[in-house]
């Protein structure tokens, strides 16, 4: 099938490469010219394990091309996947400007019977709004044939995007149109033949499945973080408690720590809270999830300050891991950034290191030092703060670390080290 993918970010590029691997012919478009140029040169503009290989396979098989012009991608496509960003504004409302712009491009240029698929994460009711927008504005509609709309939310997580997209736990397809559903089943036929589950529903239900799923996953994180705080107070081991609970498959594995960040949980939780408020169905559990998440960062920062004798000014602090989680270079709403801001405001000398994040990504923090290795960041530090559980931090030889440091405070923001071992080595272990 000829398929257009609009938006060449994490979701767009992964979707393009995945659909090409299913045998489809893909044109991927983005308004960001430098992104498209990189992709045309065979590069992935961000770090995502395995994505370059899958993309290269698709390009070599002549199944993927890139363009800076949405129209070029849309005109001959049977299906148009919209994978643009849908940020949450300061008012908590999802900004669907980019989605509306692409829907208008679709309306003007689509082929007869083409299906517009919303893959971006959006509030319940958005597909209906888009459908009304296209049908009610006569100046927009390409009258040479009808069109379909479907919601096909994406559940991939960064760092495992490729395997998540190739072998999803389920495919969610929402549409109110039988013919669009049949088209979507043809898109995913190879996956359905492999036995991957299909959940089909109306558009609004599919949209809410996505936002509620992310909010639920975020709630587990805030929950286990509060349990961890309690464990530390009573002398239980937080990581072991999480493991012990997680062996029940109804609960699953959780990692306590400094809280969630990234381009999705924070914005999607905020968006659902606002939408629920607007519908007069406030979500008090989710409100607590959100508050607990940001409180956790400040609690941990307070414990670091206390361990430094409430005298942070002039102290050297090493930040290990700036990305919001390991195996990505994504720093959107990363807990490390909160620590960097607090420490710089309190007059500390901050040196950060991350295996994949480039120093240019954090250049707006004037005064922030950047190291090219963990050991360089640690050298001369009064405290080290682990914010992201990259394996190379887990594997650090803490005896060497102790010798290189000027102080002895270790903040273990992801519970990767053993309190007992570190305390025996003479560290002040902070969680």
Residue 255 binds to ligand UGA (criterion: CB under 6 A): yes
Piece in contact with ligand UGA (CB under 6 A), picked from 17-25, 44-52, 135-143, 214-222: 214-222
Distances (CA, A) of 51 to 45, 61, 118, 332, 372: 11, 15, 22, 20, 25
Residue for token digits 């090219």?
372
With H, G, I as helix, E, B as strand and everything else as coil, classify residue 214.
Answer: helix
With H, G, I as helix, E, B as strand and everything else as coil, classify residue 123.
Answer: coil
Dihedral (CA of 310, 313, 314, 317) sign: positive
Selected from 221, 231, 320, 409, the binder of ligand UGA by CB under 6 A is: 221
Residues 310-349 that bind ligand NAD (CB under 6 A): none
Could you tell me which residues come within 8 angstroms of residue 231 by beta carbon, excluding any fewer than 6 positions away?
Answer: 237, 238, 241
Q: x/- contact string, 135-164, with ligand UGA (CB under 6 A)? A: -------------------xxxxx------
The answer to whether the beta carbons of residues 26 and 65 sit under 8 Å apart is yes
Q: Which of 28, 83, 203, 264 is catalytic?
A: 264
Cα separation of 361 and 261, whole Å?
Answer: 16
Piece in contact with ligand NAD (CB under 6 A), picked from 26-34, 170-178, 252-260, 346-354: 26-34
The answer to whether the beta carbons of residues 149 and 82 sit under 8 Å apart is no
Task: Please state the closest distance from residue 156 (CB atom) to ligand NAD, in A.
Answer: 5
Which is closer to ligand UGA, CB of 221 or CB of 308?
A: 221
* Planar angle of CA 302, 306, 307, nearest 5 degrees: 120
Which is closer to ligand UGA, CB of 15 or CB of 121?
A: 121
Residue 28 is a catalytic residue: no
Selected from 14, 15, 85, 121, the binder of ligand UGA by CB under 6 A is: 121
Cα separation of 168 and 200, whole Å?
Answer: 15
Task: Please state the closest distance from residue 255 (CB atom) to ligand NAD, in A.
Answer: 18
Which is closer to ligand UGA, CB of 157 or CB of 398?
A: 157
The answer to whether the beta carbons of residues 100 and 82 sit under 8 Å apart is no
Piece in contact with ligand NAD (CB under 6 A), picked from 19-27, 50-58, 84-92, 386-394: 84-92
Task: Please state the closest distance from residue 385 (CB atom) to ligand NAD, in A.
Answer: 25
Interface residues with ligand NAD (CB under 6 A) are: 6-12, 29-32, 35, 70, 83-86, 98, 101-102, 120-121, 154, 156, 158, 263-264
């Amino acid at each position: 099938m000829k398929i257009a993918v609009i938006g060449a970010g994490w979701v767009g590029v992964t979707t393009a490469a995945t659909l090409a691997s299913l045998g489809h012919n893909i044109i991927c478009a983005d308004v960001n010219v430098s992104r498209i140029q990189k992709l045309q040169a065979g590069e992935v503009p961000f770090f995502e394990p395995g994505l370059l290989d899958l993309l290269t396979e698709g390009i070599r098989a002549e199944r993927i091309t890139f363009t800076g012009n949405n129209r070029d991608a849309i005109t001959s496509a049977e299906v148009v996947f919209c994978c643009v960003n849908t940020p949450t504004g300061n008012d908590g409302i999802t900004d669907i400007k980019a989605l509306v712009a692409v829907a208008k491009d679709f309306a003007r240029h689509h082929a007869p019977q083409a299906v517009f698929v919303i893959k971006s994460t959006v509030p319940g009711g958005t597909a209906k709004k888009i459908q009304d927008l296209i049908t009610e504005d006569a100046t927009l509609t390409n009258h040479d044939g009808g069109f379909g709309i479907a919601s096909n939310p994406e559940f991939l997580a960064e760092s495992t995007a490729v395997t998540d997209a190739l072998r999803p736990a389920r495919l969610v397809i929402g549409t109110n149109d039988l013919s669009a559903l049949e088209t979507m089943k043809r898109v995913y036929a190879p996956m359905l033949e492999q036995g991957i589950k299909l959940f089909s529903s109306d558009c609004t239900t599919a949209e809410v499945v996505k936002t509620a799923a992310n909010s639920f996953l975020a709630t587990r994180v805030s929950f286990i973080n509060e349990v961890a705080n309690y464990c530390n107070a009573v002398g239980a081991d937080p990581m072991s408690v999480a493991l012990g609970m997680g062996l029940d498959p109804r609960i699953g594995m959780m990692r306590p720590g400094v809280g969630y960040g990234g381009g999705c949980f924070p914005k999607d939780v905020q968006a659902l809270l606002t939408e629920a408020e607007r519908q007069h169905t406030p979500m008090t559990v989710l409100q607590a999830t959100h508050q607990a998440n940001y409180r956790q960062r400040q609690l941990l920062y307070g414990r670091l300050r206390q361990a430094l004798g409430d005298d942070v000014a002039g102290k050297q602090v090493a930040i290990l891991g700036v990305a919001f989680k390991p195996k990505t270079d994504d720093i959107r709403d990363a807990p490390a950034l909160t620590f960097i801001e607090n420490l710089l405001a309190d007059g500390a000398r901050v040196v950060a290191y991350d295996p994949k994040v480039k120093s240019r990504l954090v250049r707006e923090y004037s005064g922030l030092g950047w190291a090219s290795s963990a050991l360089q960041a640690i050298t001369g530090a009064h405290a080290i703060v682990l914010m992201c559980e990259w394996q190379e931090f887990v594997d650090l030889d803490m005896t060497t670390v102790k010798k290189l440091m000027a102080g002895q405070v270790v903040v273990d923001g992801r519970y990767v080290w053993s309190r007992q071992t570190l305390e025996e080595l003479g560290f002040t272990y902070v969680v």
